[in-house]
Amino acid sequence: MTAKGSDDSETGPWNPGIKSTLPLEYLPLSTIFRPENVFTSIETATELSGFTGLTVQQLICFRPGRLVVHELLIRVSADIFVSDGSKYEDLGVNYRNIVDSILRNYIQPHMTQIVERFNELKVQIQSRVENELAASLFQESTGIEKSQSPFSLAKIFKTKAKKAKVGEVETVERRHHRILSAWEQKSESGDDPLARSMYLALAKVANAIIIKHGRLISDRELLTSLVCGLVSNEHGSEFIGEMISPYIQEAVDNEAYLLLPPQTQPVVINVKGASAAGKSTMRPLQHQQTDKLGLKWHDFALISPDIWRKYLLDYDSLGAAYKYAGTLAGDEVPIIDQKLDRYISNKARQGRVSHLLIDRFRFDSFAPGKDSEEGSNLLTRFGHTIYLTFMVTPPEATIERAWIRGLQVGRYKAVDDLLAHNIEAFKGIPHLFFTWALRKDKTVHYEFLDNSVAKGEKPGTIAFGLNGEMYILDFKGMFDIMRFSRININAKSPEEVYPQEKDLDARANTEFLLKCARQISKINFVDRDSKLIYACMESARMRWVDTEIMSRKLDDKESKAGFLAIAPELLEDIQAFTNQQARPVPAEALKHAMGNLN
């Protein structure tokens, strides 16, 4: 499927007419730079970012009306059931209709009062920040110079550290680090949410500036402005969320929206995979799965942040920039996503969390955890029972899928972006899998699905299991998880995706399989044709095999490479192993598999 671009060049999946970097002339169209959404100009945010080391996204100050939108989006996502319909785009359409109705009919009439109260909060924030800076960083006894002239970044860049006085015990740098440490500690304690938010913002700003310049700046006005902006965005957003909650409840009552019931043992269904890997198209199968498990579909919050984009931005207003619609809302979506995490975390602490179905691509989902508890940065942690589905879709297929998605819903993506997302996902999937599969405190079902199938066909099951017991049907699919992480992000055609032929060899891609053999307590090897377990490995040792079926399997190149990696002695003397007749996969285990087992 191809089309003519504005320059008459032929566009298509591998030439979508969009680059991974937003052209500068389109930057003002970004939702975080539009004056109707934010107080901060592009120029100011860019200049402050260069000086402080904070990102532009962190330095943007949202207007109260935009914070209303943020808080409404997350509450509809987390609290109200939204029908996903029968078509891919139905969930987004239905969701945005609910949001628009609540905003227009129930919140907008109160907007003047909301803005007034927000402005009062900003005055309070500024007063508290000024008092804290006066009591700590700018204490008169420290000898730190006050800023006597108007704010100027040029002046700050020329600021020189004062020479330490003779006999001074504490250097300026040490003093600044001490104050930073105190702010960090205070941000994690106390019952005052505004105070915690203020100390967190102080610590964030101070840490960034110290990293950038080695010490803090002596401009009180600038520090106050930076900190107040962060607090207004974070605590101010929560403040607005509390204000609009009664109006949302009024809408629920009047419009008969279905509130999601809290669960004592929440179920979390989480589908992970690269961008355009087919995560959203799994929803009909997930619906069938919940029915099979005796769960009610309308008890699930459908967490899919991509559906926010069309509410944040009018795609039809973009003119020649229409293909960058996804990118133009791309900086704001993660900001709201973090607020959604905060909101659901608060619900969980109050025992109000519902079942969750999560469909989102986030880089931190695949990155090794930085917190004390692995996986503690993910919503999955709120599940009592967890279903993890990993989409194993060939990277070249995601290029085709993304193009079709762009034609259908207007969200295009650059080829190198998509290929980079594939690398990120497939490098991170093993870590994410072991983080949850090895948990002893949660019931974790998992499944790896081969989504190289034609549109509308059920993906094939590569492997599935429950915590420490795994069933493997497809060695090739296990190897693909490694293969697909070794691709060429600069590919211009399907033929260029895999630059080295040796990278495709099964023997070069056994790392994930080996880790499973070493870390998963029990692995059952299943013959897809007969649905029989023909070999069993426990504690990294092959316990028994059905020698007849195993002999046939060893004639298959991919299976042979797999067994050579995890049990090389099989190839030396299969008769040395305990021979047992193949047995059926337990029905209870099969009940939790979603993919095609044929």
Give pLDDT tens digits along the chain (598 positions). 455 444 446 899 999 999 999 999 999 999 999 999 999 999 999 999 999 999 999 999 999 999 999 999 999 999 999 999 888 889 999 999 999 999 999 999 999 999 999 999 999 999 999 999 999 999 864 444 444 444 455 555 554 445 544 555 688 899 999 999 999 999 999 899 999 999 999 999 999 999 999 989 889 999 999 999 999 999 999 999 999 999 999 999 999 999 999 999 999 999 999 999 999 889 999 999 999 999 999 999 999 999 999 999 999 899 999 999 999 999 999 999 999 999 999 999 999 999 999 988 654 555 544 443 555 557 889 999 999 999 999 999 999 999 999 999 899 999 999 999 999 999 999 999 999 999 999 999 999 999 999 988 999 999 999 999 999 999 999 999 999 999 999 999 999 999 888 888 999 999 999 999 999 999 999 999 999 999 999 999 999 999 999 999 999 999 999 999 999 999 889 998 999 999 999 999 999 999 999 9
| pTM listed for this prediction | 0.90
The residues that bridge with 303 in the sheet, in sequence order, are 358
Q: How high is the pLDDT of residue 154?
A: 53
> What pLDDT, on the 0 to 100 scale, is given for residue 88?
81
Task: Give residue 159's Cα distance to chain centre.
Answer: 40
Residue 325: name the closest of 316, 312, 335, 315 by CA.
315
How far apart CA 15 and CA 8 sit, in angstroms, is 12
pLDDT at residue 148 in the model: 42
Task: Note the pLDDT of residue 66.
Answer: 99
| Residues 6+ away with beta carbon under 8 Å from 573 | none
Spatial distance between the Cα atoms of 572 and 567, rounded to a whole number of angstroms: 10
Residue 502's pLDDT is 83
pLDDT at 152: 53
Q: At what angle do helices 475-483 and 511-519 cross, to 10 degrees?
A: 120
- Say whether 309 sits in a helix, a strand or coil: helix
Spacing of C-alpha 112 from chain mean position: 34
Q: What's residue 372's pLDDT?
A: 39
Do 563 and 508 meet the contact criterion of CB atoms below 8 Å apart?
no
Q: Which tokens hold the place of 451? A: 């989504």
SS3 sequence, 273-300?
A: CCCCCCCHHHHHHHHHHHHHCCCCHHHE
**CATH number for the segment(s) 267-590:** 3.40.50.300
Beta pairing class for 267-272 and 355-359? parallel
Secondary structure letter of residue 18 according to DSSP: -
Residue 526, helix vs strand vs coil: strand
Whole-number pLDDT of residue 142: 46
In this prediction, residue 22 carries a pLDDT of: 95
Residue 4, CA distances (Å) to 14, 157, 168, 324, 598 in order: 13, 49, 72, 17, 41
Give, for 100, the enclosing helix (H) or strand (E).
helix 90-102
- Side-chain-side CA neighbours of 426 within 13 Å: the count stands at 24
With left for phi above 0 and alpha for psi between -120 and 50, is residue 8 left, alpha or beta? left
Label residue 541 left, alpha or beta by phi (over 0 means left) and psi (-120 to 50 means alpha). beta
First CA to last CA distance, the chain: 31
Question: How confident is the model at residue 146, as a pLDDT?
Answer: 42
User: What is the structure's pLDDT at 361?
Assistant: 66
* Domain-wise residue ranges, the chain: 25-157+171-255, 267-590
- Which pLDDT belongs to residue 155? 52
Q: Which pLDDT does position 85 carry in this prediction?
A: 86
Q: How far are the Cα atoms of 27, 248, 583 from residue 242, in angstroms, in the given order? A: 32, 10, 57
